[in-house]
Structures are given as structure tokens and as C-alpha cells.
Amino acid sequence: MLDVIQISYHEQYADDNFELLQLFAPHAKRVQGVKGIFEAHKEAARIAETQNFYVIDADAIIDEQFNFNFVPSRNRDQWPGVPESTCVYVWRSVNPINDLLYGYGGAKLFPRKAVLDAETFNVDMTTTLGCPFVAKLSVSNITAFNADPFSTWRSAFRECTKLASSIIPNGDNTDNEYRLKVWQTRGENRPFGAYAIAGAKQGADFGTEYRNKSHILDKINDFEWLEEMFNDAT
């Protein structure tokens, strides 16, 4: 079985979600408190002992139908000439505020060597690492990011910055526009839903304004900067 690693950075329910994760993957490991998304993934690659490894966010509540049985092979192609083992795979997750169902917050499967060798990435870890990207259709989890006002606002701001800026290579603009609209309009009555909508609107504005300036867009991966933005906005 491939390594399964939870990445956490002070999420409120990280311990509870890790206990649940262990029911599905008793051998699961953790990376805790490493500052920076890129750095945390590098650390996950360092502690992984298999050629590919799963990453689970700390706010992920694993779906009871999901399993970690998929093992990509270097001897089997995802597409002609592209071995499965060289790809990044992302499963769908359920958004608890607006019910969107896509790769945001879902389980991820990385090739260990590619992460270890990476020197940088461009805002989004899964799609700009330099590996072929594969979207898996099954659901891996609920991404329960709405644990408190800041976590909710931060998650919405980051995702809508990505959607509005079209930073994700080969993204479907029609899907992005639909998801962006839903993030900004649905779920106000869900727990912390108003913070999600506010963060979505502000993230959409930020992504649109700095669409072609990746060095500014990369600020969404600085959680201290995001907290300053949140405090200014609320």
C-alpha cells in the first residue's frame, strides 16, 4: 500500500480527521506545522517511502466509500508514452458550504521523485509541479474548511483567486466561471457561509486584478499575509 500523509498547519480538527484517516489507512503519517505549502509537500515527499504517495489535507473528512488501493504503475501508461507513475492524480471532494463537487480539497497522489526534485511551483501545487495532471471522478472526502471564520474565508479567497486568474494550466474556463459564480453566491446559511462568500468575492477580485502577475498571486500561499488580509476585510 502506498504511503498516505496528512499535511496540517494548525487546523482546528486536524487530530480528529487524522484519527478518521487511520481507519482507512492505518499506516498514515503526518506532516505538522511546516510553514509553506511547497515546503510541507517537500517534507511529505521526504518522509514517504513509496515511489508515489497520497496527500490528505487536514480538513478532509474521508468518504466511507473511498480507499487508497490505486497504485500507479511505471509499466502502464495513463496516455500513450506517459507512465501512470509520473502523473499527479486528484480526486473530487464535497464542498460543505455550496455543494460543489470537484478536485478542490480532494485527495492527491504525487510521484515522490518529482516533488523531491522540484525547486518551485506556480501558485497551485498539483497543476504546476511539471507532472501530467489527472482528475479522478470518484469522491474522496468532504473538505470541511468551514471550521471558523478565518479558515473559511482563507479557503474561499485562495480558491477563487485561482479560478479568477486562470492560473491553472489547461483549465476549463466554462467550469471555472460556473464554480466562481457558485462560490460567490451559495451557502450563506451554512456554518460560516457568509465568510466563504465574502472571501470568494475578494479572491475573485484579487485574481482578476493580478491575473498575469504570478509573483503576486503566490501570496495566497502565505498564511500570515492571508490573515492580515482577513483582518483588514472583516
Other beta carbons within 10 Å of 115:
24
pLDDT exceeds cutoff 70 at 64: yes
Q: Among the three residues 119, 143, 167, which one is the final residue of a domain in this structure?
A: 143
- Whether pTM exceeds 0.85: yes
How far apart CA 79 and CA 77 sit, in angstroms, is 5
Question: How many structural domains does the chain have?
Answer: 2
The helix or strand, by DSSP H or E, that contains position 5, with its residue range, turns out to be strand 3-8
Amino acid 171: pLDDT:
62
pLDDT exceeds cutoff 70 at 89: yes
Residues 37 and 128 in one domain: yes
Residues 40 and 65 in one domain: yes
Residues 37 and 77 in one domain: yes
Residues 129 and 190 in one domain: no
Asked if 138 and 91 count as a contact pair (C-beta separation under 8 A), the reply is: yes
Residues 194 and 132 in one domain: no
- Residue predicted with more confidence, 70 or 120: 70
pLDDT exceeds cutoff 80 at 173: no
Residues 164 and 135 in one domain: no
Average pLDDT over residues 168-177: 75
How far apart CA 15 and CA 53 sit, in angstroms, is 20
Amino acid 92: pLDDT:
98
pLDDT exceeds cutoff 80 at 106: yes
Residues 48 and 90 in one domain: yes
Amino acid 121: pLDDT:
75
Q: What is the pLDDT of residues 1-24, one digit of tens each?
A: 999 999 999 999 999 999 999 999
Residues 20 and 110 in one domain: yes
Provide the mean pLDDT of the chain.
94
Find residue 4's DSSP bridge partners.
54
Give the model's confidence band at 234: pLDDT under 50 very low, under 70 low, under 90 confident, else very high: confident
Amino acid 104: pLDDT:
96
Average pLDDT over residues 71-77: 97
Q: Among the three residues 143, 176, 205, which one is the final residue of a domain in this structure?
A: 143
Amino acid 233: pLDDT:
86
Residues 86 and 9 in one domain: yes
Domain that holds residue 198: 149-233
Length of the chain counted residue by residue: 234
Q: Among the three residues 143, 167, 187, which one is the final residue of a domain in this structure?
A: 143
